[in-house]
């Protein structure tokens, strides 16, 4: 690591933020894969700390949350019995986005369960200055997590989507969407603002921006630490570096977190 020039480190990080795999990045930068791996861990740790320190005291009004699936080492059904519960198998990334500034307020990597939902909601609450309207999908763990974390100081609604029966002939296509039901849960959420469109679009951006999230490939993460580091790097780049096409500035600038790139 100490032998890498600043220019070479920048080249490697640029490749990683463009969604390239570790091996592809190593070939492009003409360095070993271990060198890329070590740099990813170091930069990912720095990005996580920077986000935790600076994305605070937010004046958001509308927040959307969702969780996206991926896996580490192997899919859940293929994980060896001796490795179960050791950070392998299905992994969920929880995200919360400000619907106005498009800032990623909070993210977490873990299981899709009540404990993870509660920790995620507590982190969101700690970053907000005022009452917000929050929308989630119909996942049941959100209700109790939001109730505990916000203590009623929130306008919360669920957007429950209903799908038709799937087809065996279209194995990799989603079932046909039929309708979406807006369900008020806490406070007085404004009906027209009950939406998860932005956070679901962010899920697509993650799949396009991180090679290890691409479906039906062998580009998945082999270890949890690299998976988490790649996610931290992605959100740092998204919030603070990349110009948002609609906003014409970064989400962090739009949200007032910073005044410069």
Q: In the chain, count of helices (H) and strands (E)?
A: 8, 6
What distance in Å separates the CA atoms of residue 108 and residue 117, rounded to the nearest whole number? Answer: 9
Start-to-end Cα distance in the chain: 26
When mean pLDDT is compared over 18-22, 110-114, 164-168, 212-216, the highest value belongs to: 110-114
Q: Estimate the share of the chain in helix, then strand, then coil, as percent rounded to the nearest 5.
A: 45, 20, 35
* Residues whose CB is less than 8 angstroms from the CB of residue 97 and which lie 6 or more positions away in sequence, other chains included: 63, 64, 65, 103, 104, 105, 198, 199, 202
Q: Is the model more confident about 80 or about 68?
A: 68
SS3 96: strand
Q: Confidence band (pLDDT; 50, 70, 90) for 168? A: low
Q: Confidence band (pLDDT; 50, 70, 90) for 118? A: very high
At residue 83, the pLDDT reads 82
Q: Cβ-count burial of 156 within 10 angstroms (0-12 exposed, 13-18 middle, 19+ buried)?
A: buried
Q: Is 35 left (phi over 0), alpha (psi -120 to 50) or beta?
A: alpha
Which structural domains are found in the chain, ordered by start?
A: 6-254 (3.30.420.10)
Q: Confidence band (pLDDT; 50, 70, 90) for 163? A: confident
Provide mean pLDDT across the span 195-209: 92
Provide mean pLDDT across the span 69-87: 84
At residue 40, the pLDDT reads 95
- Cβ distance 185 to 158 under 8 Å? yes
């Amino acid at each position: 690591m100490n032998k890498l020039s600043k220019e070479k480190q920048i080249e490697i990080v640029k490749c990683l933020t463009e969604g390239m795999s570790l091996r592809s990045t190593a070939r492009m930068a003409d360095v070993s894969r271990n060198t890329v791996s070590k740099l990813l861990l170091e930069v990912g740790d720095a990005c996580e700390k920077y986000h935790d320190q600076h994305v605070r005291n937010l004046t958001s009004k509308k927040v959307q949350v969702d969780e996206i699936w991926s896996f580490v080492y192997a899919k859940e059904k293929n994980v060896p019995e001796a490795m179960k519960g050791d950070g392998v198998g299905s992994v969920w990334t929880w995200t919360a986005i400000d619907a106005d500034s498009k800032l990623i307020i909070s993210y977490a990597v873990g299981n899709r369960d009540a404990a993870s939902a509660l920790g995620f909601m507590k982190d969101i609450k700690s970053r907000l200055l005022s009452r917000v309207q929050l929308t989630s999908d119909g996942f049941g763990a959100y209700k109790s997590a939001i109730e505990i974390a916000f203590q009623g100081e929130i306008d919360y609604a669920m957007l429950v989507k209903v799908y038709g029966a799937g087809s065996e002939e279209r194995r990799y296509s989603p079932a046909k969407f039929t309708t979406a039901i807006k369900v008020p849960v806490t406070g007085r959420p404004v009906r027209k603002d009950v939406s998860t469109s932005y956070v679901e679009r962010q899920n697509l951006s993650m799949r396009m921006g991180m090679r290890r999230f691409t479906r039906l490939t062998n580009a998945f993460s082999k270890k949890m630490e690299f998976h988490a580091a790649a996610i931290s790097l992605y959100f740092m780049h998204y919030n603070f570096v990349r110009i948002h096409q609609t906003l014409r500035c970064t989400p962090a600038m739009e949200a007032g977190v910073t005044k410069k790139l």
